[in-house]
């Protein structure tokens, strides 16, 4: 069978989120499957060949068109619905690993992965421009065009069924995996020392790692850090490290930092390179992720796999990922977040139990299992 796959996610500037998901999934699929033929598709007017990750295999080839992206997406694919990508590639099945403008023939077998529907649940977390893009994209109409839809969590499946009015039988849950690079590192490990020096990290810190945007609830986390520090003087040596690229309305987090009584102990360190993430998780005393909504939630899983205790929200898909291994908090309640942070940092037994349970929980998620589930779906 010839299978086409949309790899336009690799055009993003930062290799995280959807690009990282797509890379890890495809790498494992190609490792397992030597029978089907895979044709990977992207469009770019400029030369993006260096940005495409190494996904070489005897049964894999890459095809690209060279239109300006705005013309290709907004005019050719969305309005003219041309070219039909499955016909262009001459494939039997086309897989789209994330929501995107795509023109496919009516007879094409097709699979779409939906990672979350936060833009329908919480449109206020997106810029007016992004809200307009989502309206024009019309995910409700798009979802009906695909034969099967993959949801990355049970929570996302429920959202798809409810918000897009999709037949439950067409939606399959396939959990994402966690990479083998996320693992406990010995205290003297060279990567730990290199990353600590590169980002000028303190000896004791609480870590947040994701895009700096309102949905991630940085204001609530900073307020909780203030409460923890004011009410637990024995924890005065702990700093708060906020890592990640600037997203929409990131200045809200900067204002919360500016208003903090402990702003000297709070630092924004910017984008963390993928090769540095395992070490920075290992260096943290605690990972705090009080997000309001996640379709899956990679950061808590990566932190648990790195033997770091996790505090995260009892909201959306996060309880599915964290299980009983993290302390689940109400993201709207800063005092609850503060109490959870203080408990983990103060209670050695609790901390030890969370590390052990976190390693077990993260071990339930693998890219091999994800790839096998996709291969079953491809061959249905």
- pLDDT digits over 299-333, tens only? 999 999 999 999 999 999 999 999 999 999 999 99
Sequence-separated contacts (24+) of 259-262 with Cβ below 8 Å: 260/222, 260/225, 260/226, 261/226, 261/229, 261/230, 262/225, 262/226, 262/229
Q: What is the pLDDT of residue 47?
A: 81
Burial status of residue 22 (CB atoms within 10 A of its CB: 0-12, 13-18, 19 or more): buried
| Whether 224 and 134 share a structural domain | no
| Whether 222 and 125 share a structural domain | no
Closest CA relative to residue 224, chosen from 172, 288, 179: 288
CATH number of the domain enclosing 294:
3.40.50.2000
User: Does 367 or 188 have the greater pLDDT score?
Assistant: 367
| CA distances (Å), origin 168, targets 9, 52, 223, 296, 347 | 27, 35, 40, 19, 44
Give one DSSP letter per residue of 130-181, joined into a string. HHHHHHHHTHHHHHHHSSEEEESSHHHHHHHHHHH---GGGEEE------TT
Q: What is the pLDDT of residue 48?
A: 75
Write down the mean pLDDT value for the chain: 95
By DSSP bridging, strand 109-114 and strand 2-6 are unpaired
Angle at Cα 297 formed by Cα 293 and Cα 283, nearest 5°? 120
- Please indicate, yes or no, if residue 183 is contained in any of the structural domains: no
- Please indicate, yes or no, if residue 311 is contained in any of the structural domains: yes
Containing H/E element for 53? none
Q: What is the pLDDT of residue 53?
A: 83
Least confident of 94-98, 117-121, 264-268, 333-337: 117-121
| CA distances (Å), origin 165, targets 43, 51, 170, 171 | 31, 37, 11, 11
Neighbours of 124 (CB within 10 A): 9
| Whether 146 and 208 share a structural domain | no
- Please indicate, yes or no, if residue 214 is contained in any of the structural domains: yes
Q: How far apart are the first and last CA of the chain?
A: 12
Range of the domain at 343: 190-362
- Please indicate, yes or no, if residue 45 is contained in any of the structural domains: yes
| Whether 223 and 372 share a structural domain | no
| Whether 93 and 154 share a structural domain | yes
- Whether the pLDDT of residue 15 is over 80: the answer is no
| Whether 247 and 195 share a structural domain | yes
3-state helix, strand, coil in the chain (%, to 5): 45, 15, 35
| Whether 324 and 215 share a structural domain | yes
* Helix spans in the chain (H): 18-32, 69-70, 85-89, 118-121, 128-137, 139-145, 154-164, 190-198, 218-231, 251-259, 277-283, 298-305, 318-322, 334-346, 348-362, 367-378
| Whether 198 and 314 share a structural domain | yes
Q: What is the pLDDT of residue 280?
A: 98
Task: Express each pLDDT in 286-304 by its tens digit.
Answer: 999 999 999 999 999 999 9
In the three-class reduction of DSSP (H, G, I as helix; E, B as strand; rest coil), residue 35 is classed as: coil
| Whether 155 and 42 share a structural domain | yes
Task: Express each pLDDT in 205-225 by its tens digit.
Answer: 999 999 999 999 999 999 999
- Confidence band, pLDDT 50/70/90 cuts, at residue 30: very high
| Whether 98 and 63 share a structural domain | yes
Q: What is the pTM of this model?
A: 0.93
Q: Tell me 199's DSSP state.
A: T
- Phi and psi (nearest 5°) for 149? -125, 135
Per the structure, the count of domains in the chain is: 2
Q: What is the pLDDT of residue 55?
A: 86
Q: Tell me 189's DSSP state.
A: -
- Whether the pLDDT of residue 49 is over 80: the answer is no
Rg over alpha carbons for the chain, rounded to the nearest Å, is: 21
- Please indicate, yes or no, if residue 184 is contained in any of the structural domains: no
Residue 102 contacts residue 91 (beta carbons within 8 Å): no
- Please indicate, yes or no, if residue 142 is contained in any of the structural domains: yes
- Please indicate, yes or no, if residue 185 is contained in any of the structural domains: no
| Whether 247 and 121 share a structural domain | no
| Whether 120 and 161 share a structural domain | yes
Task: Express each pLDDT in 68-84 by its tens digit.
Answer: 999 999 999 999 999 99
- Please indicate, yes or no, if residue 65 is contained in any of the structural domains: yes
Count how many Cα atoms sit within 13 Å of the Cα of residue 152 in the half-sphere of its side chain: 28
- Whether the pLDDT of residue 56 is over 90: the answer is no
- For the chain, helix (H) and strand (E) counts, in that order, are 16, 13
């Amino acid at each position: 069978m010839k299978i086409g796959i949309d790899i336009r996610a690799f055009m993003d500037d930062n290799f995280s989120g959807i690009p990282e998901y797509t890379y890890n999934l495809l790498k494992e699929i190609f490792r397992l499957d030597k029978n089907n033929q895979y044709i990977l598709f992207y469009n770019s007017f400029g030369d993006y060949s260096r940005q495409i990750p190494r996904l070489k295999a005897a049964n894999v080839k890459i095809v690209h068109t060279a239109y300006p992206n705005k013309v290709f997406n907004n005019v050719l694919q969305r309005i003219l619905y041309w070219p039909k990508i499955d016909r262009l590639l001459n494939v039997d099945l086309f897989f789209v690993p994330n929501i995107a403008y795509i023109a496919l023939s009516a007879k094409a077998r097709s699979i779409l992965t939906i990672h979350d529907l936060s833009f329908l649940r919480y449109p206020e977390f997106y810029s007016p421009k992004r809200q307009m893009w989502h309206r024009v994209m019309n995910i409700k109409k798009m979802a009906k065009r695909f034969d099967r839809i993959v949801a990355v969590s049970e929570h996302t499946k429920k959202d798809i069924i409810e918000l897009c009015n999709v037949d439950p039988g067409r939606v399959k849950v396939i959990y994402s995996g966690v990479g083998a690079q996320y693992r406990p590192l010995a205290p003297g490990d060279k990567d730990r020392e290199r990353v600590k020096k590169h980002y000028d990290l303190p000896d004791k810190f609480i870590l947040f790692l994701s895009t700096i945007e309102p949905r991630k609830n940085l204001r609530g986390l900073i307020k909780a850090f203030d409460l923890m520090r004011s009410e637990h003087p024995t924890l005065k040596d702990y700093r708060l490290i906020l890592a990640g690229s600037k997203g929409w309305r990131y200045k809200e987090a900067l204002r919360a930092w500016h208003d903090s009584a402990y702003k000297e102990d709070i630092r924004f360190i910017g984008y963390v390179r993928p090769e540095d993430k395992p070490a920075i998780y290992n260096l943290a005393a605690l990972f705090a992720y009080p997000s309001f909504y996640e379709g899956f939630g990679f950061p808590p899983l990566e932190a648990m796999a790195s033997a770091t205790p996790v505090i995260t929200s009892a909201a959306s898909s996060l309880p599915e990922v964290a299980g009983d291994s993290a302390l689940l908090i109400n993201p709207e309640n800063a005092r609850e977040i503060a109490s959870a942070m203080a408990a983990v940092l103060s209670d050695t037994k609790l901390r030890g139990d969370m590390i052990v349970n976190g390693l077990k929980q993260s071990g339930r998620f693998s890219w091999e299992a994800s790839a096998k589930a996709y291969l079953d779906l491809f061959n249905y």
